[in-house]
Amino acid sequence: MSIGPLLPGRMPAALLTSRLQMGISTAREMISRLQDQASTGQKFFVASEAPAAALRTISLQREIERKDQMLVNIAADQSLLGATESSLASVADSLNQARSLLSAGIGESTTSAEKEALAVEAAALLRNTVNAANTQFRDRYLFGGSQSKSVPFTYSSTGSVRYNGDTQNIDSFIDLQLQMSNSVDGATAFNALSQPVTADINPALALETRLSDLHGGRGISPGTIQVSVVDGTTSTQLIDLSGAETIGDVKNRIEAAFGSGPPGLTVSLAGPPDSGSLLLTPSGGGTVAVSNTSGTRTASDLGIAGTAATSITGSDLNPQLKLSTKLTALNGGNGVAATAGKGLLVTLDDQSYTIDLDGLETVEDLLNAFQSTVPDLAVGINSTGDGLAISSRLSGAGFSIGENGETSAADLGIRTLTGATLLDDLNGGFGTPLEPPTDDAAPRPTSITIQRRDGTSSVVELGGLKTVQQVMDAISAVDGNLSASLNAVGNGISITDSSGTGPLSVETSDLSTALGLSGTEPGPDNTVALSGADVNPQEPEGVLGLLSRLERALRDEDDRELERLAPLIDAEITRVNGLRGEVGLRLQTLDATDNRLRDGAISLQESLSLNFDADLTEVVTQVTQVSSTLDATLRIASQSMQLSLLNYL
């Protein structure tokens, strides 16, 4: 007699069948799941199967995906920077060839025909460099800044080269929380913008000025200040300025703390020349003192910290210049000259443009007027937030800003020739022949000769002078008839002479030419000045401008210009090679980051495997065990289903 299944007592056939079916179904489901694990390599398929492991797995998978994207970014950056370095290498080669051309072309040993041939080679170098500057890689112009879809460098109608891009870089993530630029803008790579003409134009403080705009945009540290007023009685108040947003809020809170007094305190805006400051005055006389409270520097940031005094005039808070700043608020509230029909005069690439300030209200209006009148300028606010910044986009062309009959350019801090201009900076950095000669050189004249309107001559000694203002003062000091000042229109030095009605002239010499003063004013109106030339034009100092001027100097056989260009080309070679080194450092950083990410990816994959990957050996063992169990269950079921009443008798 066969042995039936061991069951707890006698069971109804229906219950027995149900239990056997459940065992078979469970075994089959387990085998199916194990087969899925074996085929996919996954330990589980829905988060509810292993909640803790699922959370760890999701986090690890997300991090791995991000790291994989970083590796893609790095590969793209490596290719872009590699192409950039290759282009810069060709630029460095062009500069080295240019230096050789200059050395070959300078002096009388080279004939005119040879210099013309060298100029042709210089022109070819310029074209090759422009082509390198317009390198396109992966559907992107490498040197356009953020304007990477348009050609960054184009020729103007006069042959100068215009930079059309901007000074922004394109960044990408090369690791979590780590960005790096994968581009070099054209202004940086080719020095394609002239040095910005700028100066502090001292925007005045207003009640509407935001505290975040003080100190050039750095703002202040909000907190509590202690103010003491002594006027017969003493009142000391702790004033919380942490929620204040404007200078008006500061004024209202301080005055409200003392009420109507006595003693009372008035807070106002200081007048010129302290128009960027606060003024604290006791209402009924007496003294006022302001100090920081423990752990704060708010009073110092507001410039009003001070010991007891009859009034406190704070330090200049240097409000940030913004597009919305009124022109009337500039220069400490004195504004800018804006007579209709005058304004300022811009000269660029031998073209003159007049910018009329009449009707303009804000800095934004002014910048728009610049941009619409002279589109070859790059205009904006300087990096310190206290003045304008005007640059030329044209390499190989001179650029200057002068007056047009009033003081607009000086008021805006953008006149390119002022009394403070150093003589060494004139003529593109060539300076003036006032420096002491070398031991083997002949003495250089340090004076200029002025032929007066009354027929006499005056010799003006300029030796040892450093600035344009000193030159003008020296001329004006000759006697009461001679007077020197900056040109009323454009740039240069003007000389007037009331000694007679004849011609006024300055004898031609290296020094007078370097100062732009050689020439004659024929008279007879002795109120008309002899207006000198502008000898301080600005220009981009990069490779494109240097190659353009090299070509021109070789064609003109201008050895003096070639001498000026030699150290500039040497400096540009050094600068470009330094930039190549910087690009190389970025490539090294990318390589190191790539290696680190790949090493980290191995650890992440190991952690992911521990949480999510199935152990195939264990799965196969479990399949064998469950298959055996299922086989046994099926045999038992087969035997159980064959039982009858006779089996129990």
Asked whether the beta carbons of 612 and 57 are under 8 A apart, the reply is: yes
Side by side, which strands form the sheet with 519-521? 457-461, 447-451, 504-506, 519-521
Q: Which DSSP string corresponds to 229-258? A: EEESEEEEEEEE-TT--BHHHHHHHHHHHH
Asked whether the beta carbons of 292 and 225 are under 8 A apart, the reply is: yes
- Give the closest residue to 205 by CA, choosing from 311, 304, 287: 304
Q: CA distances (Å), 509 to each of 433, 444, 458, 529, 619, in order?
A: 10, 11, 15, 20, 100
Asked whether the beta carbons of 344 and 403 are under 8 A apart, the reply is: yes
Query: How many whole angstroms separate alpha carbon 538 and alpha carbon 394?
Result: 10
The CB density around residue 391, as the number of other CB atoms within 10 Å, is: 21
Domains and CATH numbers, the chain: 69-192+542-598 (1.20.1330.10), 211-313 (no CATH), 334-416 (no CATH), 427-531 (no CATH)
Is the model's pTM score more than 0.85?
no
Q: CA distances (Å), 413 to each of 324, 357, 402, in order?
A: 18, 14, 11
Helices (H), 444-527: 468-476, 510-514
User: Which DSSP letter does residue 533 get?
Assistant: P
Query: How many whole angstroms separate alpha carbon 597 and alpha carbon 601?
Result: 6
Query: How many whole angstroms separate alpha carbon 443 and alpha carbon 430?
Result: 18
Query: How many whole angstroms separate alpha carbon 32 and alpha carbon 627?
Result: 11
Asked whether the beta carbons of 343 and 309 are under 8 A apart, the reply is: no
**Mean pLDDT per 10-residue run, the chain (649 residues)?**
45 66 72 69 68 76 84 94 95 95 89 93 95 94 94 91 93 88 94 94 91 92 92 89 93 90 86 84 90 92 93 92 93 90 92 94 96 95 93 94 95 96 90 68 79 94 93 94 95 94 93 94 92 94 93 91 91 95 95 90 75 68 73 69 57
E strands within 90-242? 153-155, 161-163, 171-175, 178-181, 224-231, 233-240
Token pair, residue 327, equals 């022109």
Asked whether the beta carbons of 390 and 402 are under 8 A apart, the reply is: no
HSE of 506, CA atoms in CB hemisphere, 13 A: 27
List beta partners, residue 521: 504
Token pair, residue 113, equals 């025909």
The CB density around residue 548, as the number of other CB atoms within 10 Å, is: 23
List beta partners, residue 268: 279
Residue 241 CB burial class (10 angstroms; 0-12, 13-18, ≥19):
buried
- Give the closest residue to 605 by CA, choosing from 67, 46, 35, 128: 67
Token pair, residue 462, equals 């300029």
Q: Is 192 helix (H, G, I), strand (E, B) or coil?
A: coil
List beta partners, residue 467: 422
Query: How many whole angstroms separate alpha carbon 223 and alpha carbon 302?
Result: 11
Query: How many whole angstroms separate alpha carbon 83 and alpha carbon 95?
Result: 19
Rounded to 10 deg, the angle between the 543-556 and 51-105 helix axes is 10
The CB density around residue 624, as the number of other CB atoms within 10 Å, is: 11
Rounded to 10 deg, the angle between the 13-40 and 616-641 helix axes is 160
Q: CA distances (Å), 213 to each of 165, 225, 299, 367, 463, in order?
A: 29, 20, 16, 20, 46
